[in-house]
Amino acid sequence: MDDMEQIYQQHAQTVYKFLLSQTHDQDLAEELTQETFYQAVRSIGRFDGSCKVSVWLCQIAKHLWYQHLRKHRREGPMPEDIPEVPAPSAEAGLLEREGRLDLLRQIHTLPPDAREVVYLRAFGGLSFREIGDVLGKTETWARVTFYRSKEKLRNGGTGDEK
């Protein structure tokens, strides 16, 4: 059991950041992180060592996240009683929202690997090393993929280099 505690100490932050990048909800990310390690303890016998432990844990976390999404879709729409923080002005709020939506639309046009790297880096706050571990690639691959994706987004998705 000491091994599992050591695994938790080494990888809990990576799993949490991965889930936070997916959920955008700190409480849910914490809850799913705990559930991830619970499921890992239950299924440690099925871990065959063909990938890094962090990759295996993030795969468990991803499946739990998808399970959570499916469950909540069946339950119906989420309650709308969560108070919103008012924007400084209606115009500023609209422009900010439009800018964010436009950026998300552009990110969505990226190839799947590039899109995931951008999400994990920009919204999840993961380091390039952590991104490489999660996706089963190298830190350098994560850096290069993020840089190229950022350049593509900066150029309006055309891929033209300046």
CB count in 10 Å sphere of residue 127: 15
In order along its 162 residues, the chain shows pLDDT tens digits of 457 788 888 888 889 988 888 888 889 999 999 999 888 888 888 888 788 888 888 888 888 988 888 888 766 554 444 455 444 555 555 556 666 777 778 888 889 889 889 888 887 778 888 888 888 899 999 999 999 988 888 887 554 444
Q: Is the dihedral of CA 139, 121, 26, 77 positive or negative?
A: negative
Identify whether the C-beta of residue 35 lies closer than 8 Å to the C-beta of residue 12: no
In sequence order, the 6+-apart residues with CB closer than 8 A to the CB of 9 are none
Three-state DSSP class for residue 84: coil
- What local confidence, expressed as pLDDT, does residue 138 receive? 92
Identify whether the C-beta of residue 12 lies closer than 8 Å to the C-beta of residue 38: no
Whether this model's pTM surpasses 0.75: no
Phi, psi angles (nearest 5°) of residue 88: -55, -40
**Distance between CA 46 and CA 44 in Å, rounded?**
5
**Distance between CA 143 and CA 32 in Å, rounded?**
27
- What local confidence, expressed as pLDDT, does residue 41 receive? 87
**What's 113's DSSP letter?**
H
- Nearest-CA neighbor of 134 among 73, 68, 69, 57? 57
Domains of the chain: 2-75 (1.10.1740.10), 108-162 (1.10.10.10)
Identify whether the C-beta of residue 119 lies closer than 8 Å to the C-beta of residue 106: no
